Chain A
Amino acid sequence: MRSTLAIMGKELRILFTSPIAYVVAAMFVLISGYLFYSIVLFASSQSMQIMRVQGALPQINLNDLVFRPTFHNMAVILMLTLPLITMRLLAEEKKIKTIELLLTSPVPLTAIVMGKYLAALVVFTLMLALTAYMPLLMWYYGSIQWMPILTGYLGIWLLGGVFIAVGLLASSLTENQIIASFISFGAVLILWLIGWVSQAAADTSWGSFLTYLSIGEHTENFIRGMIDTEDLVYQATLIIVGLFITHRVLESQRWK
């Protein structure tokens, strides 16, 4: 536990002394903010139209109209940005040979993997916290329900957790950061695209199997405001499997 915290601390220090964390977080906030702004514009023009037709203030659901598309956008932006946070985690250690220090210290491999994972998770959580102005604005100027927004954030947070586990695994496979980021981006995209394939093969047992595998499907319920244990189990399984394979990869690399 102590060594996990030591590794996490070191990782965070490097992430925040180098520009990576700031650049990635800034891009994430900028792009998600711009998309949020255009969604809000669209929502207000729509409500204007409804008002003109009905001649009265319409009962519009801001949660549905604004936050569902915003969470979807966040998911896609995270798919592109989180690999940039995770790519260096292990690849860099191998490249500059600091992995020799870690592996010859009395630190279990699990602590190395967990320390790195938690560090990236902390950065991601801070990134996500920066978007809190969105619901706060909507709450101040309009009326929103908080619970679906909180479950939506939980869903996105778990999704990011999966992306980070996949990214960490990709980073353990190579000592080249660009390759690591590309592998993790590809793997995450595949997890996402399975959903589209499953729609084409809908109503067959194969189709429902693919639907189960698709990560988008398991995030959707959270965004709608539901917490389903099935989804929790799915996300947790992906994270644990990702971390476990990372551990095995690091172990097997010692034997080469």
Chain B
Amino acid sequence: MIEAELQFVVERLEARYAAAIDDDRLEEWPDFFTEPCRYQIITRENHDKKLPVGIFFANSRGMLIDRVRSLRDANIYEAQHYRHILSPTLVLAHHGDAVETQTNYQVIRITAEGATALFSSGRYLDHILVNGTTPLFAEKLVVCDSRRIDTLLAIPL
């Protein structure tokens, strides 16, 4: 894959990923990952200190599916949605079909009341597999810049 094509492929994956979340198509969210996979939301503080606990962790698509089903059927939280703003993706490394990338994000959270506020900023440190027809995340590490979460984090970043 030539460099320009690779850049296009990974950026399109990131854009589709963010759009699925922002459009409340959460049921599609696990389909962006390989099986097994690794997804974690963690603060920069814990990440830098090499502490393993974050805000959410999954190492299977099943755990991602469970997250969505819990948000839909079990958890109680004020209606809200996100708007992701992504930076261009930086390809950090590329070995065969495996690509390591970094994409900066800002997530604006809009609550039912109408408040629009910057909820989280940070970076996606991703391992993307580009061998199939659709590129997939083998690993997506969401490193939040701030150690503080306002009220609660329900929807994935």
Q: Do A and B come from the same complex? A: no
**A residues whose Cβ falls under 8 Å from a Cβ of B:** none
